[in-house]
């Protein structure tokens, strides 16, 4: 009986001895969590030993599974498939494209549909449904034509009709606007004026740059720094630049940055909340 009692007394002790390690690892688990940098914990001494039970406990069941899973997995894991190139995300639906072409035709634009444009060096560049715009409005030429998306051409034509042509009619001798001298049109390149990390809207056919307005009487108004020059050219440039922001979501020109001192940059980039960048 005594012997049994001793065994019975010893058993709970044994049970406790087995259970005792359980709460112990709980303490080291609590410690690493609040530490922002696990590497900051010194590995020497007791503090270095404390995390070990956690490492022993945690990885073991977890490590067994990944080992099996890795054996089944191929050596080289394929990367996530890339999303569609940016030019493809801008592709117009059949309806929108047809509606845009019809609008251009009704405005009297001279244009022709072109084959899709892509760039082998940069997958995001390109225009899925480009047009070559030779004249946004009857009698207003773009020498050499300009490749762009239909919607860019449509906004250009509407702005010329509603604002630029009327503004020209207020100049002395009322010269008729005859041509836009283009700067950059479609071009697969990065933006200017930042670190070049982003592609320009020119790379998607969303942008058109105007270097000068040419009139039927042979005169021209080049885009240039004209702040406080106090003449007709300044008034015209201010007027067309200001109204351009009603049709385009980005309008940059002289004063915006050094890269835009000799042209107006116009684009139809879509931004969240309809935000516009006009400087």
- Label residue 3 left, alpha or beta by phi (over 0 means left) and psi (-120 to 50 means alpha): alpha
Binding mask 133-172 for Zn ion (x = CB under 5 A): ----------------------------------------
Q: How far is the CB of 71 from Zn ion (least distance, A)?
A: 55
Q: How far is the CB of 70 from Zn ion (least distance, A)?
A: 51
Residues 132, 209, 226, 254: which binds Zn ion (CB under 5 A)? 209
Q: Report the site for Zn ion in 29-88 (rule: CB under 5 A).
A: none
Exposed, middle or buried, 136 (CB in 10 Å: 0-12/13-18/19+)?
buried
Nearer to Zn ion, 99 or 212 (CB): 212
Q: How far is the CB of 214 from Zn ion (least distance, A)?
A: 19
Nearer to Zn ion, 97 or 200 (CB): 200
Nearer to Zn ion, 25 or 182 (CB): 182
Task: From 45-53, 71-79, 214-222, 259-267, give the range in contact with Zn ion by CB under 5 A.
Answer: 259-267
- The strand ranges marked E within the chain are 110-113, 117-118, 126-127, 130-135, 146-149, 177-182, 207-215, 220-222, 250-252, 264-267, 277-278
Q: Report the site for Zn ion in 180-199 (rule: CB under 5 A).
A: 184
Residue nearest to Zn ion (CB): 265
Q: How far is the CB of 229 from Zn ion (least distance, A)?
A: 23
Q: How far is the CB of 224 from Zn ion (least distance, A)?
A: 16
The count of chain residues that interact with Zn ion, using the rule CB under 5 A, is 4
Pair 131, 117: CB distance under 8 Å? no
Pair 50, 24: CB distance under 8 Å? no
- The strand ranges marked E within 161-206 are 177-182
Pair 191, 203: CB distance under 8 Å? no
265 touches Zn ion (CB under 5 A): yes
CA distance 240 to 64: 70
Nearer to Zn ion, 101 or 149 (CB): 149
Pair 172, 232: CB distance under 8 Å? yes
Count of CB atoms situated within 10 Å of the CB of 22: 9
Count of CB atoms situated within 10 Å of the CB of 117: 17
Task: From 60-68, 112-120, 220-228, 263-271, give the range in contact with Zn ion by CB under 5 A.
Answer: 263-271
Nearer to Zn ion, 158 or 211 (CB): 211
Q: How far is the CB of 266 from Zn ion (least distance, A)?
A: 8
List alpha helices for 182-230, DSSP H: none
Nearer to Zn ion, 158 or 190 (CB): 190
Q: How far is the CB of 120 from Zn ion (least distance, A)?
A: 23
Q: How far is the CB of 39 from Zn ion (least distance, A)?
A: 48
Nearer to Zn ion, 208 or 236 (CB): 208
CA distance 76 to 60: 25
Nearer to Zn ion, 207 or 251 (CB): 207
Q: What is the dihedral of CA 176, 181, 187, 190, to 10 degrees?
A: -100
- Chain contacts with Zn ion (rule: CB under 5 A): 184, 207, 209, 265
């Amino acid at each position: 009986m005594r012997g049994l009692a001793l065994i019975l007394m010893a058993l709970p002790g044994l049970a406790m001895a087995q259970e005792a390690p359980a709460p112990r690892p709980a303490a080291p688990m609590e410690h690493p969590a609040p530490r922002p940098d696990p590497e900051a914990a010194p590995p020497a001494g007791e503090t270095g030993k404390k995390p070990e039970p956690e490492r022993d406990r945690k990885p073991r069941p977890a490590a067994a599974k990944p080992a099996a899973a890795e054996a089944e997995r191929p050596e080289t894991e394929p990367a996530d498939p890339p999303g569609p190139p940016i030019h493809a995300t801008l592709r117009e639906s059949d309806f929108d494209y047809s509606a845009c072409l019809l609008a251009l035709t009704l405005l009297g634009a001279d244009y022709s549909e072109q084959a899709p444009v892509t760039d082998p060096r940069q997958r995001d560049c390109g225009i899925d449904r480009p047009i070559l715009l030779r004249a946004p409005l009857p009698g207003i030429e773009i020498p050499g034509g300009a490749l762009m998306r239909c919607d860019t051409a449509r906004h250009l034509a509407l702005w010329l009709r509603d604002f630029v042509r009327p503004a020209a009619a207020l100049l002395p001798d009322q010269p008729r606007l005859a041509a836009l001298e283009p700067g950059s049109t479609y071009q697969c390149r990065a933006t200017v004026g930042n670190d070049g990390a982003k592609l320009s809207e020119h790379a998607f056919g969303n942008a058109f740059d105007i270097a000068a307005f040419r009139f039927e009487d042979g005169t021209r108004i080049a885009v240039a720094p004209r702040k406080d020059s106090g003449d007709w050219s300044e008034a015209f440039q201010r007027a067309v630049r200001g109204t351009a922001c009603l049709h385009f979501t980005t309008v940059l020109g002289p004063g915006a940055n050094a890269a835009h001192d000799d042209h107006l940059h116009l684009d139809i980039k879509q931004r969240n909340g309809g935000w516009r960048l006009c400087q």
